Amino acid sequence: MSVALPDFPWDSLAAAKAKAQAHPDGVVDLSVGTPVDPVPAGIRDALASVSDVPGYPTTHGTPALRAAAIDALRRRHGVEGIEPDAVLPTIGSKELVAWLPRLLGAGPGDLVVIPEVAYPTYEVGALLAGATVARADGLTQLGPQRPKLLWLNSPSNPTGRVLGVEHLRKVVDWARERGTIVVSDECYLALGWDAEPVSILHPSVHGGRLDGLLAVHSLSKSANLASYRAGFVTGDPKLVAELLAIRKHAGMIVPRPVQEAMVAALTDDEALAAQRERYARRREPLRKALKDSGFRIDHSEAGLYLWSTRDEDAWQTVDWLAERGILAAPGTFYGPGGGRHVRIALTATDERIETAVRRLK
Ligand SMILES: Cc1ncc(COP(=O)(O)O)c(C=O)c1O
């Protein structure tokens, strides 16, 4: 391989997985955030309705898709001022996260800042571009450096931490002084529990200027569309135009039926509310059971994970849970700062969550 990438972290979970799978009543796999609930019928109908379109889809997405994204951001998250041309569909958000530094021209000698404990693909994207990676949650840690790009992720995977408006505004001001692009990964924005997550594109954060700002959205979690690969990026029209130009050349195109499904997903607020309800219903008993069995849960005020610790090495906790037939991801997957936590996902059926709760008792 021409770039040295980290080992794929999930491979190292094989032994714990085998142990958890040996439980007589089966494994409760809470190690990955993959949706398990049905794809809403309206979305499936929309997908099927354009299954007989033989021509190429457009990289920029249909006008209806871009309008639906803008309307959903306004209705659901109070985002204003997005231009229709400044929405660009992506093949899920992971590919965009992995290629964004490269697509925006980052290269050797450039710095990409990612959260201290973070979704692993931010680091991968910087490495694919040949850029240098720094992990930082605070601006003072960065001193006089002028990063090319800075990632935010609120609500966070894996910690569930939500960044407040003040924090976001400070980052935006700091980045503007340095010509740093701020990219906010907002794939859990609709899943706030004890805090109300705010988009970087909310007027209270950017003060009416979108230059240098991008928000990355995904329909995987909010609409159970992980298998469809459906996301979009929006914000600064100039940056989005740059991305569009390259992605057209590179064939990074969302299939036409998926574009139609995205319109349905972005329009259906009832389906989103129902899904939120399911996750809320699973979160509370699991949280209580973890606490009652000696865990402390940090952050986790939003998103799909309980960032949990028994104040011991993460792998010891993974093992403790595996003995009870429960599989969790060690915090080390997300950076050295995660070494004493495990990430426990809410993405399992009601029956499996109830089983986990019983086993923790
Ligand atoms: C923080 C974060 N960003 C992006 C993604 C990628 O999601 P997708 O590619 O399904 O849109 C995930 C998936 O778990 C994630 O947790």
Per-residue pLDDT band for 2 (boundaries 50, 70, 90) equals low
Verify whether ligand 1 is closer than 6 Å to residue 115 (CB atom): no
- Fold of domain 9-38+270-360: Aspartate Aminotransferase, domain 1 (3.90.1150)
pLDDT tens by residue, 57-74: 999 999 999 999 999 999
Nearest CA to ligand 1 atom 14: 33
Q: Are 172 and 130 in contact (CB under 8 A)?
A: no
| Stretch 345-360: mean pLDDT | 98
Average pLDDT score over residue span 210-214: 98
293 DSSP assignment: T
Which atom of ligand 1 is found nearest the CA of 221? Answer: 10
What's the 183 CA to ligand 1 centre distance in angstroms? 14
Instruction: Give the distance (Å) from ligand 1 centre to CA of residue 220.
Output: 7
CB neighbour class for 108 (10 Å; exposed up to 12, middle 13-18, buried from 19): exposed
CA of 186 to the centre of ligand 1 (A): 9
- How high is the pLDDT of residue 63? 98
Statement: 41-268 belongs to CATH 3.40.640.10: yes
Domain with CATH 3.40.640.10 in the chain: 41-268
Q: Where in the chain is the domain with CATH 3.90.1150.10?
A: 9-38+270-360
- C-beta 119 within 6 A of ligand 1: yes
Confidence of residue 1 (pLDDT cuts 50, 70, 90): low
Q: How far is the CA of 95 from the centre of ligand 1 (A)?
A: 9
Burial 45-59 (b: 16+ CB within 10 A, else e): ebbeebeeeeeebbb
From the CA of 95, give the closest atom in ligand 1: 9
Is the distance from the beta carbon of residue 231 to the nearest atom of ligand 1 less than 6 Å? yes
pLDDT digits (tens, 9 = 90+) for 84-139: 999 999 999 999 999 999 999 999 999 999 999 999 999 999 999 999 999 999 99
